[in-house]
Amino acid sequence: MAGIYIHIPFCKQKCTYCDFHFSTTFTAYREKMIEAIVEELKTRVNYLGKQTISTLYFGGGTPSLLTQEELKLIVETVHQNYRVEPEIEFTLEANPDDITIEQLLMWKAEGVNRLSIGLQSFLQEDLDWMNRAHSAEESVSAVKLAKEHGFSLTVDLIYGLPNRTNFDWEYNIEKLVALSPDHISAYCLTVEKRTALYKLIEKGDLPEVGEDDQSEQFEILVRKMKESGYQQYEISNFAKEEAYSQHNSNYWRGVNYLGIGPSAHSFDGESRRWNVSNNPQYIKGVEEKTNYFEEEILTPKDMFNELLLTGLRTKWGVNLELLSFKHCPSKQFYKQLDSFKEFELVNEEEGVLYLTEKGKLQADHIAAMLFLE
């Protein structure tokens, strides 16, 4: 069992907070990019060995900008070159302004069964400073339309926004819960240095966001999700009736995956590999069969730390025995673990470590303190 991730590095416009790899001026090389993605799929056919593909994920960028011909070509290449299970989870990230009846029918025809919709906020003022291409009204109709067409849905929101109160955040959650998607991902806004948002805050056009406000909004999120029947199965991910993201759950469990396209990451159980985050360099590298990626062999300590970080964030926790297979935990690890247990941040049940509700507020810090040096 393994997954394939395909990165589509095109966007209509640049969202102010976004630090992902994409380009808004791609018309001249669009066709070459699709050809390079197809070529990379063909040449890396042995990367996953004999494992079957159980999840396919189109992310970006904006994969909802793909035409039917482009999507079909990529999907057919996957089926022709890989052993794909009969019932796969096939997710495509879609922006609300791209969701129309015609597009939904087209995605369905090409095998997509799950849409990941980036709403971010239901407040128009937020969407304006974010420079999102959709309006608050379009968000609501897009989710309703996608549901009517039978797609499994995950919807993204962002909390900890400038100028937003806890009351505004509750409003956003309630609006989303009323639409009843199967799955919700909620991320805390991070202001990355090379973004337009960083400059807006630096110039004083938007206020800085306090960490205390963000922590309070996370607590509101966890409470309201629980009240609304969503299970927090990962720090930032909530599902109704176990509609977990199979693709992302596999990342967290350490399942192998192949990442195709510029900036895409791959993992084969022993090493990580990441493609260059530059569209022309990526196309040239694939065409000329020169190096367009970097690679890192993971040490047992790296594997230990990764399993700890990802496992602690999930409802499945981290099995201490499995962790010890990666690397023997140090005395310092057990000492730190005892201290976290004492402060009721971590629980241990039948050899599995879980974060408590209080611990979830500091998940990354707790994992970092337990890392092997």
| 25-34 CB contacts, 8 Å cutoff, 24+ apart | 26/279, 29/279, 29/280, 29/283, 32/283, 32/287, 33/9, 33/279, 33/282, 33/283, 34/70, 34/73, 34/74
Residue placing its CB nearer to ligand SF4 in the complex, 94 or 308:
94
Is 264:275 a contact under the CB 8 Å cutoff? yes
Taking residue 48's Cβ as centre, other Cβ atoms within 10 Å add up to 22
Residue placing its CB nearer to ligand SF4 in the complex, 20 or 316:
20
Q: Which stretch binds ligand SF4 (CB under 6 A): 11-19, 27-35, 155-163, 222-230?
A: 11-19
The minimum distance between CB 11 and ligand SF4, in angstroms, equals: 3
Q: Which stretch binds ligand SF4 (CB under 6 A): 42-50, 60-68, 103-111, 184-192?
A: 60-68
The minimum distance between CB 115 and ligand SF4, in angstroms, equals: 14
Residue placing its CB nearer to ligand SF4 in the complex, 22 or 218:
22
18 sits near ligand SF4 (criterion: CB under 6 A): yes
171 sits near ligand SF4 (criterion: CB under 6 A): no
The minimum distance between CB 22 and ligand SF4, in angstroms, equals: 5
62 sits near ligand SF4 (criterion: CB under 6 A): yes
Distance CA 319, CA 307 (A): 9
Q: Which residues of the chain form beta strands (DSSP E)?
A: 2-8, 53-60, 84-94, 114-120, 152-159, 183-188, 231-234, 237-239, 257-260, 265-267, 271-275, 293-297, 318-319, 346-349, 352-355
Interface residue with ligand SF4 among 11, 75, 157, 189 (CB under 6 A) is: 11
Residue placing its CB nearer to ligand SF4 in the complex, 60 or 317:
60
Q: Give the bridge partners for 7, in sequence order.
A: 59
Q: Which amino acid is at 224?
A: K
Interface residue with ligand SF4 among 15, 36, 197, 307 (CB under 6 A) is: 15
The residues near 37 (Cβ < 8 Å, ≥ 6 apart) are 6, 8, 74, 260, 261
Interface residue with ligand SF4 among 7, 23, 58, 61 (CB under 6 A) is: 61
96 sits near ligand SF4 (criterion: CB under 6 A): no
The minimum distance between CB 62 and ligand SF4, in angstroms, equals: 5
- What is the DSSP code (8-state) at residue 263? T
60 sits near ligand SF4 (criterion: CB under 6 A): yes
Binding site for ligand SF4 (CB under 6 A): 11, 14-15, 18, 20, 22, 60-62, 95, 118
